[in-house]
């Protein structure tokens, strides 16, 4: 397909379709727990998970250099606070809205934790969550804030902690602020440092391009593994929760489109341009791994300025994730509330839940498990039992795909909002139609 100059987007969707088809065929012929499927999935992981690891390999260097690069490309030093405020504000507001939608979905579908059957896997998962809760509960709010600070930035660059991403962002921001100070006092040294930053950024983006060439193959393997290894019986039993989750996720995505429409930007063009990025996020289940695609789509397809694209994509990895830190914790809390005598429709409960969800969305890891971490914080803050959250383990991967795609969409929308508000959005780029038969875009590798 590449030799025939088929566009990158079409190659990605072809890999997605083939992966789904192959996985369904394996489901029809073999049991998900059969030796054939288990061994096959092990080999699928070599390609699929291996590809995700390669993307994760460049996430921390890319976050670090992207933030510094954003400072070198700022038109005005005074824009730093405005950009950060607009991006983080948009992420938090949309997370609050997503929490409200999650509450409405759980109530509308009458979801209750007591209606879910518990098996051995669910019981084990519940026990693990309670053990993890001990660590979370023993950490006070000031200590949680301290976790964001980079005591050892070199360690955080390895992703050693759940809050490593936001710690790297903070460290890079300090480097950027220092650079702005040097610009005023010693412009020659600042110019030399900027050249180094530009060179490193160019090299890292070249690595990104090399890794992205594997995207169609990685998505094919990831989808084949997901479809072949899914427990369809468990999914059917929890079908109402799965449906309610995707109704909430789709509703929040529509909110994203409404925000764009309110800014007098075409929602249809947004969907068309970001669909390949959201498809990768959906199959890979990692917001952090999608970071390179996120930044590129904002700059080359949506017309977001480079500085703002770097800020919004990097912040969106660990702050205000609409799916993992918004909808999911809110739905789980509403499901558990009746088991401890709380009326989920009580205004005081709803307001408290939305505020807790919004504030706890800081520092959520942009990789698998971020939703569970956010849910633990929310439930522990509201004094709710966490073991019941383990009942959803069998459908966790299926729902996590949609949550991750929504996270990435929220990040890109925050970049568009900030660019539009500051008058830095290139409307010509945003409104430009994509030639699906041309591999000319930077991601069409």
Per-residue pLDDT tens digits for 190-203:
999 999 998 998 89
Query: 199 vs 160, which has greater pLDDT?
Result: 199
Examine the pLDDT at 418 and tell me if it is beyond 50: yes
On the question of pLDDT at 228 being above 80, the answer is: yes
Mean pLDDT of 424-432: 91
pLDDT in tens, 142-155: 776 777 788 888 88
pLDDT for the residue numbered 302: 94
User: Which residues, in sequence order, are CB contacts of 333 under 8 Å at separation 6+?
Assistant: 353, 375, 378, 379, 382, 384
Taking residues 370-386, report their average pLDDT: 76
Distances (CA, A) of 2 to 10, 50, 65, 277, 440: 10, 22, 31, 19, 12
C-alpha 214/C-alpha 273 separation (Å) is 20
CA atoms of 76 and 240, how far apart (whole Å): 51
Q: How far apart are CA 134 and CA 111, in angstroms?
A: 27
In this prediction, residue 440 has a pLDDT band, given cuts at 50, 70 and 90, of very low
Q: What is the pLDDT of residue 407?
A: 92
Angstrom CA distances, 162 to 51, 359, 401, stand at 21, 16, 20
pTM of the model: 0.79
Query: Closest Cα partner for 15 from 42, 51, 39?
Result: 51
CA torsion, points 15, 234, 39, 221, in degrees to nearest 10? Answer: 10
Cα(20)–Cα(245) distance, integer angstroms: 21
For 151, phi then psi, to 5°, come to -60, -35
* CA gap 168, 67 in Å, rounded: 9
pLDDT at residue 390 in the model = 61
Tell me what the mean pLDDT of segment 385-390 comes to.
67
| The pLDDT of residue 238 is above 70 | yes
CA distance 44 to 38: 10
What does the alpha-carbon distance between residue 323 and residue 401 come to, in Å, rounded to a whole number? 10
The overall average pLDDT reported for the chain is: 82
Encoded tokens for 55: 């993307």
Radius of gyration of the chain (CA): 22
Report the pLDDT value the prediction gives residue 255, as an integer from 0 to 100. 96
Q: Is 65 exposed, middle or buried (0-12, 13-18, 19+ CB in 10 A)?
A: buried
pLDDT tens digits, one per residue of 242-281: 899 999 999 999 999 999 999 999 999 999 999 988 988 8
pLDDT of residue 375: 79
In the chain, what percentage of residues exceed pLDDT 70? 84
pLDDT in tens, 204-223: 888 888 888 888 898 888 88
Q: Is the pLDDT of residue 319 over 60?
A: yes
Per-residue confidence (pLDDT) for residue 131, from 0 to 100: 54
**Digit-coded pLDDT (tens) for 39-58:** 988 898 899 888 888 877 88
Residue with tokens 């073991």: 387
Residue 286 burial by Cβ neighbours in a 10 Å radius (0-12, 13-18, 19+): buried
Query: Could you tell me which residue, 260 or 128, shows the higher pLDDT?
Result: 260
Least confident span in 215-219, 386-390, 394-398: 386-390
Quick one: which of 284, 244, 328 has its CA closest to 45?
284
pLDDT digit string (tens) for 70-97?
788 775 655 778 888 899 999 999 999 9
DSSP secondary structure string, 250-290? Answer: HHHHHHHHHHHHHTT--HHHHHHHHHHHHHHHHHH--TTTT
Range in 65-69, 127-131, 210-214, 388-392 with the lowest mean pLDDT: 127-131
Q: What is the distance between the alpha carbons of residues 335 and 358, in angstroms, rounded to a whole number?
A: 19
- What is the band of 31 on the pLDDT scale with cuts at 50, 70, 90? confident
Cα angle for residues 344, 350, 353 (degrees, 5° grid): 105
Q: Evaluate whether 249 touches 402 at the Cβ level (below 8 Å).
A: yes
Class assignment of domain 8-431? mainly alpha
Distance CA 95, CA 39 (A): 39
Task: Report how far residue 97's alpha carbon sits from residue 100's, in angstroms, rounded to the nearest whole number.
Answer: 5
pLDDT at position 288 over 80: no
Report CA-CA distances (Å) from 298 to 192, 272, 363, 434.
28, 13, 23, 14
Least confident of 18-22, 330-334, 386-390, 411-415: 386-390
Q: How far apart are CA 180 and CA 72, in angstroms?
A: 8
Q: How far is the C-alpha of 329 from the C-alpha of 103, rounded, in Å?
A: 9
The phi, psi pair for 424, rounded to 5°, reads -110, 10
Q: Which pLDDT score is estimated for 372?
A: 72
Mean pLDDT over 100-116 rounds to 85
């Amino acid at each position: 397909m590449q030799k025939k100059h088929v566009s990158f987007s079409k190659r990605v969707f072809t890999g997605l379709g083939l992966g789904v088809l192959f996985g369904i065929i394996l489901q029809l012929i073999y049991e998900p727990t059969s030796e054939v499927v288990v061994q096959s999935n092990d080999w699928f992981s070599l390609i699929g998970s291996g590809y995700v690891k390669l993307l994760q390999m460049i996430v921390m260097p890319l976050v670090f250099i992207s933030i510094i690069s954003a400072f070198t490309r700022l038109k005005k030093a005074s824009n730093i606070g405005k950009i950060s405020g607009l991006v983080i504000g948009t992420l938090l507001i949309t997370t609050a809205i997503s929490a409200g939608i999650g509450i409405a979905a759980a109530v509308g579908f009458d979801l209750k934790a007591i209606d879910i059957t518990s098996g051995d896997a669910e019981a084990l998962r519940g026990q693990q969550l309670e053990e993890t809760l001990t660590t979370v509960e023993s950490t006070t709010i000031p200590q949680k804030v301290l976790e964001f600070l980079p005591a050892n930035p070199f360690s955080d660059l390895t992703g050693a902690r759940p809050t490593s991403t936001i710690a790297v962002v903070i460290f890079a921001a300090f480097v950027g602020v220092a650079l702005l100070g040097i610009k005023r006092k010693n412009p020659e040294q600042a110019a030399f440092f900027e050249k180094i930053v530009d060179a490193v950024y160019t090299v890292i983006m070249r690595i990104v391009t090399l890794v992205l060439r594997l995207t169609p193959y990685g998505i094919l393997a990831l989808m084949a593994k997901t479809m072949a290894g899914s427990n369809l019986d468990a999914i059917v039993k929890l079908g109402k929760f799965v449906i309610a989750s995707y109704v909430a996720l789709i509703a929040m995505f529509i909110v994203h489109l409404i925000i764009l429409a309110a800014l007098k930007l075409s929602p249809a063009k947004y969907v068309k341009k970001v669909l390949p990025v959201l498809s990768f996020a959906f199959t890979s289940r990692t917001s952090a791994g999608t970071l390179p695609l996120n930044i590129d789509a904002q700059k080359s397809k949506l017309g977001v300025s480079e500085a703002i694209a770097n800020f919004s994509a990097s912040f969106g990895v660990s702050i205000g994730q609409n799916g993992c830190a918004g909808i999911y914790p809110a739905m789980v809390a509403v499901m558990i509330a009746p088991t401890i005598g709380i009326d989920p429709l009580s205004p005081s409960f709803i307001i408290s839940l939305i505020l807790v969800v919004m504030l706890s969305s800081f520092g959520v890891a942009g990789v698998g498990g971020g939703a569970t971490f956010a849910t633990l914080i929310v439930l522990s803050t509201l004094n709710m039992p966490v073991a019941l959250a383990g009942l959803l383990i069998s459908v966790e991967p299926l729902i996590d795909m949609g949550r991750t795609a929504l996270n990435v969409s929220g990040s890109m929308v925050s970049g568009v909002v900030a660019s539009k508000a500051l008058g830095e959005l290139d409307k010509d780029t945003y409104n430009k139609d994509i030639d699906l038969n041309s591999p000319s875009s930077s991601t069409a590798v």
